[in-house]
Amino acid sequence: MIREKKLLFPVMMLVFLFLALEGLGYYIGNKRTSMSEAGIKDKKTARISVSELKEKNRALKSMVKSLSPGGVYLVVDTARNLLFLKEGERIIREAVISSGSGNILYDAGGKKKWVFDTPRGEYTVKSKYISPAWTKPDWAFVEEGEDIPKNYSDRIENGVLGDYALGFGNGYFIHGTLYTRLLGRNVTHGCIRVGDKDLKTIFTAAEIGTRIFIF
């Protein structure tokens, strides 16, 4: 009983301190929320008139908009595995795709590592190919447990990239696929696979320099 009473005091003190800390935190937080709003309003009321601010905002909005692509462009949503061929805000074509699996591959020595993500950001169409042949990179051989060939010709494989391919740099392509039932899934090594019909439309519409936004 006495021991319990001895324990009760420090426990109560700790609870009290914690509650005091919480209360102090809420006080500071609420004060800062209201103070910051008031402070910003004071700053803003200085010098510039409402009409000038409106004009400035209009100009800034048009400057931001001027950075948007002028003609057609491609938007790749790797989360939903969708590709949009767009012009302005209009969607010309929506295609189901396959994008990077996110898997990792190490070589036999464990020194070299490949991460199969589709790169994100802004890219442009750098090359266009009809009936493209695939030049197999090192990882393709490592993945199959084969030795990396010394002859360039041993890397060439036909018929796996579909009818067309659009290169967007660093060995990444938008191309066709033999595995159409896997469209909509994340299964590739970073390239973007598209179904035949959609690919033809995209290939026809996209020129060298067409912008590609991948996210």
Partner 1 sequence: MWPVIVFFMAFFISTDAACDNKGNLSSETQRLRAELKLAEKPDIYFIFNLKERKIYIKARGTLLREFRIIDMKYWGDYISANPLFLLKKSTFMKPGREKIKPGADQDGDEVEIDALELDDMPARYTLSLEGGVSISVTPEPEGLITGLCNIIYSAGRYISGPVIMVWNALRKKTFTSIYIVLNKKEAQALYWSFHEGNGSIIYPP
Please report, as ranges, the residues that interact with partner 1 according to CB under 8 A: 21-26, 28-30, 32-33, 36-37, 39-41, 43-45, 48, 50, 53-54, 56-57, 60-61, 63-69, 73, 75, 77-80, 89, 98, 101-108, 115, 120-123, 142-145, 179, 182, 185-188, 211, 213, 215
Name the residue with tokens 């996209």.
206
Residue listed under structure tokens 């018929």: 159
Between 9 and 66, CB nearer to partner 1: 66
Q: How far is the CB of 2 from partner 1 (least distance, A)?
A: 33
Size of the chain, expressed as the number of residues it contains: 215
Q: How far is the CB of 192 from partner 1 (least distance, A)?
A: 14
Contact yes or no for 168/212 (Cβ under 8 A): yes
Q: 99 near 177, Cβ under 8 Å? A: no
- Give least dist CB 57 to partner 1, A: 5
Q: Where are the beta strands (DSSP E) in 15-120?
A: 72-77, 82-87, 90-100, 104-106, 113-115
Instruction: Please state, in angstroms and rounded to a whole number, the distance separating the CA atoms of residues 104 and 75.
Output: 25
Choose between 7 and 120: whose C-beta lies nearer to partner 1.
120
State the nearest-atom distance from the C-beta of 199 to partner 1, in Å: 18
Of the pair 7, 138, the CB lying nearest partner 1 is at: 138
> Is the Cβ of residue 49 or residue 151 nearer to partner 1 in the bound state?
49
CA–CA–CA angle 29, 35, 39 (5° rounding): 145
